[in-house]
C-alpha cells in the first residue's frame, strides 16, 4: 500500500486558503501514485478557536464535499486529518475518512482534548473509536493528544487495526515526545503508525513537522523535515501478522487482572 503524508503549513484562521492548498496537495499525491493520502490536524482553521463560530465547517459539509469529490475523481483513499466542525451548536475536532469511490466511511471526534492549547474551553470531546476498512485492511485513526493515551491505541488494535493514523498539530517544543511515543505505539501494538504533523507557526506555537511512518517492529520508514513536503512510503501490510506471530503480545495479555 502506497501512502502519501501531506505535511502542511496551515494558514491561521483562513479556511479558503487552506481548502485550496489541500486540494493542490491531494492532487499532487495522486500524481505520485499514492493509494492513500493523509492530512494533518485542524487544517481548515488551525487553532483560531476564538472564531470557531465564524470559521468552523458546519456539519463538515465543505470538507466532506471536497474530500469525496477528489477521492472519486482521483481514485484515492483520503484520511482527512481533522477539521474544526460545528454540529448541533457544539464545536468538534473531527476526522473524516473517504474511500476511493467517494464514500464517507468513518467520522471521528477527538476523544482527548488538550488543555494546554485550550481545546477543552471550546470543543466537545468525542466518545467513539474510529475503525474502518480500506483495501480489505482494518485501520484506525486518532488525533494528536490521543497519542499520550496508550489504552486508546490498544482499543483500536484489539478491534483489528493494522494501521493507525495520527494527524496532529504537535508543537516543536515537545517533538522528542512525539517521536518516542509514536515509535512506542507501533511497537506495543505491533502495527503501522502513520503520523502527519503540520509545519509553520500560529500566534502561540511553532510546529516543525517530523511526520513519521513506522513499521510494526518499530523501524522508522520515513521522517518529514520541518518544511512543507509530501512523503510517499510503501508499506507491506503482511508485516503486521509476521510480527504478531513472532511475539504473541495479544495472546499473552492478562485480561484476568487488567
Active site residues: 41, 110, 144
Q: How many CB atoms lie within 10 A of CB 255?
A: 5
DSSP 8-state secondary structure symbol assigned to residue 203: S
CB 31, CB 64: distance < 8 Å: no
CB 168, CB 197: distance < 8 Å: yes
DSSP 8-state secondary structure symbol assigned to residue 202: -
**Cα–chain center distance at 23:** 17
The candidate with the shortest Cα–Cα distance to 81, out of 133, 148, 155, 25, is 25
Q: How far apart are CA 80 and CA 153, in angstroms?
A: 19
3-class state of residue 194 by DSSP = strand
Q: Say which residues have a Cβ less than 8 Å from residue 103's Cβ, sequence separation at least 6.
A: 68
Helix axes 175-189, 150-158, angle to 10 degrees: 30
The candidate with the shortest Cα–Cα distance to 110, out of 94, 122, 131, 98, is 94
Q: Say which residues have a Cβ less than 8 Å from residue 247's Cβ, sequence separation at least 6.
A: 190
Amino acid at each position: 500500500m502506497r501512502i502519501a503524508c501531506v505535511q502542511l503549513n496551515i494558514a491561521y484562521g483562513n479556511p479558503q486558503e487552506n481548502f485550496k492548498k489541500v486540494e493542490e496537495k491531494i492532487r499532487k499525491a495522486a500524481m505520485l501514485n499514492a493509494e492513500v493520502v493523509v492530512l494533518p490536524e485542524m487544517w481548515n482553521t488551525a487553532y483560531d478557536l476564538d472564531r470557531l463560530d465564524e470559521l468552523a465547517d458546519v456539519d463538515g459539509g465543505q470538507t466532506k464535499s471536497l474530500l469525496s469529490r477528489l477521492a472519486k475523481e482521483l481514485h484515492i483513499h483520503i484520511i482527512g486529518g481533522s477539521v474544526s466542525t460545528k454540529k448541533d451548536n457544539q464545536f468538534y475536532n473531527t476526522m473524516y475518512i473517504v474511500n476511493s469511490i467517494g464514500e464517507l466511511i468513518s467520522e471521528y471526534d477527538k476523544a482527548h482534548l488538550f488543555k494546554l492549547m485550550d481545546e477543552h474551553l471550546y470543543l466537545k470531546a468525542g466518545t467513539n473509536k474510529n475503525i474502518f476498512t480500506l483495501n480489505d485492511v482494518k485501520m484506525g485513526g486518532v488525533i494528536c493528544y490521543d497519542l499520550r493515551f496508550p489504552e486508546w491505541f490498544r482499543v483500536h488494535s484489539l478491534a483489528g487495526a493494522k494501521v493507525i493514523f495520527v494527524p496532529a498539530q504537535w508543537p516543536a517544543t515537545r517533538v522528542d515526545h512525539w517521536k518516542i511515543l509514536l515509535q512506542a505505539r507501533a511497537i506495543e501494538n505491533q502495527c503501522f503508525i502513520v503520523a502527519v504533523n503540520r509545519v509553520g507557526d500560529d500566534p502561540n506555537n511553532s510546529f516543525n513537522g517530523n511526520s513519521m511512518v513506522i513499521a510494526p517492529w518499530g523501524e522508522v520508514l520515513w521522517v518529514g523535515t520541518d518544511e512543507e513536503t509530501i512523503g510517499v512510503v510503501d508499506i507491506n501490510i503482511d508485516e503486521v501478522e509476521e510480527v504478531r506471530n513472532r511475539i504473541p503480545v495479544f495472546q499473552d495479555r492478562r485480561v484476568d487482572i487488567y
